């Protein structure tokens, strides 16, 4: 290809366009290309006369402002949601800390209550042991008294039997007389 081949081909392409393909003079009502050009220019003129480009631009600007407003609102809603989420996270952490404190306090209280219960049970057992020992001592004293009483009764009975076996009527009368004399001597 030569240097002039490209511009020459471009010139041939432009010359072969539809505007040059029509036969006859270009400015004529028989030339469709001219009619289309005039109709297009009239159409553009009507659009400009009724300020359609300004209206379309205004509508596009309004739409753009609406979209921007929606984007701003969405951005503010997102920031609000993030702030709310952060607030809920903080509250959840605070609640967790408070729940941990409550559980810890409950465990401490339960441990104190268990220690108190152990102390109360130990005191109760000690009281019952003391009461049982007192009852045992009382029962032992009663048993000892009962055994003594039985022994005295048995000894008196045995002595009575021995004395009755060894006692004669003369000897009994003598003992009675001695006892009366002892009593008289003590009374006077």
SS3 readout for the chain: CCCCHHHHHHHHHHHCCHHHHCCCCCCCCCCHHHHHHHHHHHHHHHHHHCCHHHHHHHHHHHHHHHHHHHHHHHHHHHHHHHHHHHHHHHHHHHHHHHHHHHHHHHHHHHHHHHHHHHHHHHHHHHHHHHHHHHHHHHHHHHHHHHHHHHHHHHHHHHHHHHHHHHCCHHHHHHHHHHHHHHHHHHHC
Residue 36 has pLDDT above 90, yes or no: yes
Whether 147 is in a domain gets the answer no
Whether 142 is in a domain gets the answer no
Whether 8 is in a domain gets the answer no
Residue pLDDT, tens place only, 129-173? 999 899 998 988 888 888 888 888 887 777 777 777 777 778 778
Whether 32 is in a domain gets the answer yes
| Entry pTM | 0.38
pLDDT value of position 18: 55
Range of the domain at 96: 22-134
Residue pLDDT, tens place only, 99-110? 999 999 999 999
Number of domains in the chain: 1
Whether 86 is in a domain gets the answer yes
Whether 62 is in a domain gets the answer yes
């Amino acid at each position: 290809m030569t240097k002039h081949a490209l511009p020459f081909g471009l010139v041939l392409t432009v010359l072969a366009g539809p505007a040059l393909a029509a036969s006859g003079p270009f400015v004529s009502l028989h030339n469709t290309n001219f009619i289309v050009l005039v109709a297009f220019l009239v159409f553009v003129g009507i659009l400009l006369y009724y300020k359609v480009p300004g209206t379309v631009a205004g509508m596009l600007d309004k739409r753009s402002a609406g979209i921007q407003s929606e984007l701003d609102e969405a951005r503010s809603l997102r920031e609000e949601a993030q702030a709310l989420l952060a607030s809920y996270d903080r509250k959840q952490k605070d609640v967790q800390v408070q729940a941990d404190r409550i559980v810890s306090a409950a465990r401490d209280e339960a441990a104190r209550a268990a220690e108190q219960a152990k102390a109360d049970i130990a005191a109760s057992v000690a009281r019952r042991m003391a009461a049982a020992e007192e009852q045992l001592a009382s029962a032992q004293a009663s048993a000892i008294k009962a055994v003594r009483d039985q022994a005295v009764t048995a000894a008196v009975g045995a002595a009575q039997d021995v004395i009755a076996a060894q006692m004669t009527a003369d000897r009994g009368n003598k003992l009675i007389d001695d006892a009366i004399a002892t009593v008289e001597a003590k009374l006077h």
